[in-house]
Amino acid sequence: MADLKVVMVNDCAFVGEALLKYLPPDLGKRHIKRTRELWGKTFGLAYRILRAEGDIYHVHYLLQDCYVASKLRKKPLIGHAHGSDLRASLKHPLWGRIVRHNLKHCDDVLVSTPDILRIARQFRQDAKYLPDLMDTELFYPKPIVPHGGKRSVLIASDSNWSVKGTDIAVRALSKIKDEVDVSIIRRGVDFGRTMALASSLGLRLNVLPKVSHERLNEYYWNADVVIDQFRLGCLGMVSLEAIASGRPVVTYVSSEYPEYRDFPLKEVDTLEKIVNAMSDAVPELWERQHAYLEKNHNPDQIVNRLLCIYKMLTQSTTN
């Protein structure tokens, strides 16, 4: 597949960027990204998709970029769903039509979490779960520095009550506020509400500025325990990055998904369970979480699976 050229469009949580980074160096690669400018968001991006020449087109999010690539007859076309496109946009009167079109007209559909696989398969029985690849060059373990006193806890996911359950995390941590030193990154639609809730409960939150993805590892390394989400029941990128960085994660992982059979911490979905899990967030838990990560999210394994998908699609379109 040395002569294969991959055109990656858009991104989500740097998944596309990581995939391109770990794909074989002899592959042709181009990444068409969105920008904040109007031209970069709409016409400019469509123009770049039109001009792009590749052997396979891999588009992140089943929204307008994927729709444009489909209408421009870019083939073979992979639509890669990451969550909100299937959980929320599919129900929208306008965006839902676009998502359904993409589900039906892409040559293949990939999903990043098990919960949205069920949704995708209502439209595409051949939809596939591709676990997110973990960039182990950027996120790697560093030992916890003993500092005595309270445990350092990082709320690392966006402040979003309906999706991440940040309010649940704050309520749970307030019950052990004398035992923890909690930091939170300034980001998310509910950041203000989160700060107000913590203040009302007497929980002090150290606010960290939003930083580039390349510097997130520093926040993980400065924590003893990392808190992620408590709504979806799926492992988020924050959990994967924190575990890769050597820190135990407390998050809600549902037993209903067989893909998480080997994950050592499941059904943490109440305040009491979160508090108990905080006590269990010790190096031994991290070792078991890291073993799961190495087995299911290592770069070589994910890239090999993706290359098989690329090969199958390119062969089917040339035959």
Length of the chain: 319
pLDDT tens digits for range 97-127:
999 999 999 999 999 999 999 999 999 999 9
pLDDT by residue (tens digit) across 233-255? 999 999 999 999 999 999 999 99
Nearest CA among 55, 48, 9, 11 for reference residue 309: 55
- Do 112 and 12 contact (CB within 8 A), yes or no? yes
3-state secondary structure of 6: strand
Going through 127-170 in order, the beta strands assigned E by DSSP cover: 128-129, 151-155
Contact, 130 vs 305, CB < 8 A? yes
Tell me the H-state helices in 112-163.
114-120
> How many other CB atoms are there within 10 angstroms of residue 225's CB atom?
22
- Between vectors from CA 160 to CA 58 and to CA 261, what angle results, nearest 5°? 65
Q: Which residues pair with 111 in a beta bridge?
A: 81, 129
> Per the omega criterion (within 30 degrees of 0), is the bond before 76 cis?
yes
**pLDDT at 37 exceeding the cut of 90:** no
Is pLDDT at 85 greater than 70 in this prediction? yes
pTM: 0.94
**Which amino acid does the sequence have at 45?**
L
176, two tokens: 């052990």
25 CB contacts (<8 Å, ≥6 apart)? none
**Residue of 134, 117, 114 whose CA lies nearest to 126:** 117
Q: Which amino acid is present at 10?
A: N
